[in-house]
């Protein structure tokens, strides 16, 4: 610090107070920067436990959490619960995704369908996932069907709205070309409408999957005897907060992986956007 200031005696406002840190950050790159805050949290967490700011029963040390994670992984329990949750998300998302895409397409392609469905759809979509659960529980019980429905609903809304608005914001000039060449509906969908709406649809898909994953955890917390959300309930009931934290970490990580995976698929699908020169 002092040497830097000495070498720039006239600099009234040092723009880079910690040049060493900035340089180090640049070296580790963006990925490294993203890890900085979690690492800091980890340090604070460790200190909090060591200094007994919070009782170890409520906040177990990071090492204990890591140990629990290792045990759960080794026993296959973690993977078992996770696979059940992933399966629920997969099925629920496929149902909700297919319906959302169809609904969005129908409303996007036809002003008439839009007039009939959009207001109702918007009103219903204002009710959060949590608000649907009591009614759905009475209707379909608390078995798998409930999970599929809740996840499907969570996925349906963003996918429908994004597909709809994606189609509506296609430049009229693209549709005019389709009219000039008298493209039939199928060709128009495949060659013009879907590719043009794809960026918006994909934003919808990513958003929907995040929503679906959150809905899964919600419904598993409320009504389940299996799955990653249940693991959390179980841990809390047995006062095993390490278990709860492991479940939280896994939920966060899986969500991140799903989203990033989709981002990769998106780049692949839109390879035409890359320019050669």
Return the range that interacts with another protein (CB under 8 A); candidates 90-98, 120-128, 179-187, 216-224. 179-187
Give me the sign of the Cα torsion angle 116, 117, 119, 120.
positive
**Placement of tokens 């129908």 in the chain:** 106
Give me the sign of the Cα torsion angle 67, 71, 72, 73.
positive
277 is a site residue for another protein (CB under 8 A): yes
203, 163 Cβ separation under 8 angstroms? no
For 155, the token pair is 């996925």
Q: Among residues 2, 7, 15, 275, which is the contact residue for another protein, using CB under 8 A? A: 275
Instruction: Please report which residue ranges of the chain form alpha helices under DSSP H.
Output: 2-7, 19-50, 62-75, 77-109, 111-125, 129-140, 144-168, 172-180, 185-187, 194-222, 228-237, 241-269
86 is a site residue for another protein (CB under 8 A): no
Q: How far apart, in whole angstroms, are the C-alpha atoms of residue 201 and residue 207?
A: 10
Q: How many CB atoms lie under 10 A from the CB of residue 261?
A: 12
Q: How many CB atoms lie under 10 A from the CB of residue 69?
A: 18
51 is a site residue for another protein (CB under 8 A): no
Return the range that interacts with another protein (CB under 8 A); candidates 124-132, 149-157, 227-235, 269-277. 269-277
265 is a site residue for another protein (CB under 8 A): no
For 103, the token pair is 């609904």
Looking at the Cβ atoms of 52 and 271, the one nearer to another protein is: 271
For 172, the token pair is 């009229």
Return the range that interacts with another protein (CB under 8 A); candidates 21-29, 148-156, 207-215, 267-275. 267-275
177 is a site residue for another protein (CB under 8 A): yes
Looking at the Cβ atoms of 57 and 273, the one nearer to another protein is: 273
Q: How many CB atoms lie under 10 A from the CB of residue 143?
A: 10
180 is a site residue for another protein (CB under 8 A): yes
Total number of residues that touch another protein (CB under 8 A): 23
Looking at the Cβ atoms of 138 and 186, the one nearer to another protein is: 186
Looking at the Cβ atoms of 194 and 214, the one nearer to another protein is: 194
Q: Cβ neighbours of residue 229 under 8 Å, at least 6 residues apart?
A: 85, 216, 217, 218, 219, 220, 221, 247, 251
120 is a site residue for another protein (CB under 8 A): no
Return the range that interacts with another protein (CB under 8 A); candidates 48-56, 69-77, 101-109, 186-194. 186-194
187 is a site residue for another protein (CB under 8 A): yes
The CB-of-266 to another protein minimum distance in angstroms stands at 13
* Stretch 197-236: interaction string toward another protein, x if CB under 8 A: -x--------------------------------------
113, 163 Cβ separation under 8 angstroms? no
Binding site for another protein (CB under 8 A): 173-174, 176-177, 179-184, 187, 191-192, 195-196, 198, 270, 272-277
């Amino acid at each position: 610090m002092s040497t830097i200031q000495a070498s720039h005696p006239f600099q009234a406002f040092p723009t880079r107070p910690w040049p060493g840190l900035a340089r180090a950050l640049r070296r580790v790159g963006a990925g490294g920067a993203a890890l900085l805050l979690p690492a800091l949290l980890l340090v604070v967490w460790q200190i909090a436990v060591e200094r007994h700011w919070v009782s170890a029963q409520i906040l177990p040390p990071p090492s204990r959490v890591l140990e629990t994670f290792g045990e759960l992984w080794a026993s296959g329990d973690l993977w078992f619960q996770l696979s059940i949750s992933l399966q629920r998300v997969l099925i629920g998302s496929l149902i909700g995704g297919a319906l959302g895409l169809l609904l969005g397409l129908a409303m996007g392609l036809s002003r008439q369908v839009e007039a009939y469905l959009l207001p109702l759809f918007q009103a219903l979509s204002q009710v959060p996932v949590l608000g649907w659960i009591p009614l759905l529980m009475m209707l379909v019980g608390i078995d798998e069907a409930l999970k599929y429905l809740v996840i499907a609903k969570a996925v349906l809304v963003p996918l429908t709205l994004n597909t709809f608005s994606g189609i509506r914001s296609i430049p009229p000039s693209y549709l005019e070309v389709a009219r000039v060449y008298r493209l039939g509906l199928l060709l128009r969908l495949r060659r013009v409408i879907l590719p043009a709406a794809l960026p918006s649809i994909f934003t919808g898909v990513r958003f929907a999957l995040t929503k679906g994953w959150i809905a899964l955890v919600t419904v598993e917390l409320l009504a389940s005897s299996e799955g990653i959300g249940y693991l959390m309930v179980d841990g809390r009931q047995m006062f095993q907060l390490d278990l709860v934290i492991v479940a939280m970490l896994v939920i966060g990580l899986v969500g991140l992986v799903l989203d990033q995976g989709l981002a990769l698929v998106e780049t692949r699908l839109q390879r035409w956007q890359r320019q050669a020169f």
